[in-house]
Amino acid sequence: MKQYFFGLALLCALPSEAALASDGKVAVRYAMTLAGLPIGSAALTMNVGDDGAYKLIASAKIGGILSLVTDGKGSATALGKLSPSQPVSSGYALNSVSGDKRQTVRMAMSGGTVTQSEINPEQGANPDRIPVTEADKRGVIDPLSAFVIPVSGKGDLLDHGVCQRTLPIFDGGQRYDIKLSFARMEEIKSRGSYSGPALVCAVRYVPISGHRAARSQVKFMADNKDMEIWLVPVAGTRVLIPWHILIGTQVGRLVIEAAKFSTAGGNSLATTAN
């Protein structure tokens, strides 16, 4: 389960206080806190081509006050293409170290179906582990691509209905849904690249397979109502990205905040949601 939370930190490492430049490249650095205490940092680069093809590279290092009991570091890469409604993953890789445990994940995907998958070490065959079926590997996206939110049509990018979606995720070992629903609107006043409205979505974690059903951490996360994501528009696109991510844990709130960003072209996030 430590690996699950480390993967969650990588998943949260998505562009918040940043912008897509004219050539579609953005780089972001993040600070992470737990219960108000610094626990590490994360970084992400995102490249998007004119045809919607994208590449995401994320890294994270967890330490700070947590270094007294555990630490971790890792990197993840995702490839795919943006459709009008959600990313379509084509490949995903994760390399991570948590304490003395190492894990690698490799996946190839086509049209939302996992065609090849390898996780090392393999998950143990515990009696309470819910088996992953072949059906669980269809109609899914990888965890790093999951929070790049394209919005179809020509309407308001921050319409409340944009939150009403389910992100079907397979991370190489577990299949779960991330369900979003509208929570409220917030107004962001920042000295950085964005000032304006943010669409706040409540987040729920729904385990489907690959998890150990009897584990207290799984039950806690499935019942967790203290999770939300603030989405803001990227200038010149119909894409929303996270500005702020909050996750309640058993030891306090995990918060992801952008600390530094850079772009190849210097463009900023949109100042309006239109």
Residue 271 lies in a domain: no
Given a cut of 90, whether residue 130 has pLDDT beyond it is: yes
Residue 268 lies in a domain: no
Given a cut of 80, whether residue 251 has pLDDT beyond it is: yes
Condensed to tens digits (0 to 9), the pLDDT of residues 171-193 reads: 999 999 999 999 999 988 765 55
Condensed to tens digits (0 to 9), the pLDDT of residues 54-103 reads: 898 888 888 755 444 456 788 999 999 988 888 999 999 999 887 778 88
Residue 181 lies in a domain: yes
Residue 165 lies in a domain: yes
Query: What local confidence, expressed as pLDDT, does residue 46 receive?
Result: 77
Residue 269 lies in a domain: no
Number of structural domains in the chain: 1
- Distance CA(37)–CA(39), nearest Å, equals 6
Query: What local confidence, expressed as pLDDT, does residue 190 receive?
Result: 66
Residue 79 lies in a domain: yes
- Distance CA(122)–CA(132), nearest Å, equals 13
Length of the chain, please? 274
- Could you count the other beta carbons within 10 Å of the beta carbon of residue 102? 13
Residue 272 lies in a domain: no
- Distance CA(186)–CA(5), nearest Å, equals 27
What are the tokens at 177?
């849904």
pTM: 0.85
Which structural domain range is residue 252 located in?
2-263
Given a cut of 60, whether residue 8 has pLDDT beyond it is: no
Residue 274 lies in a domain: no
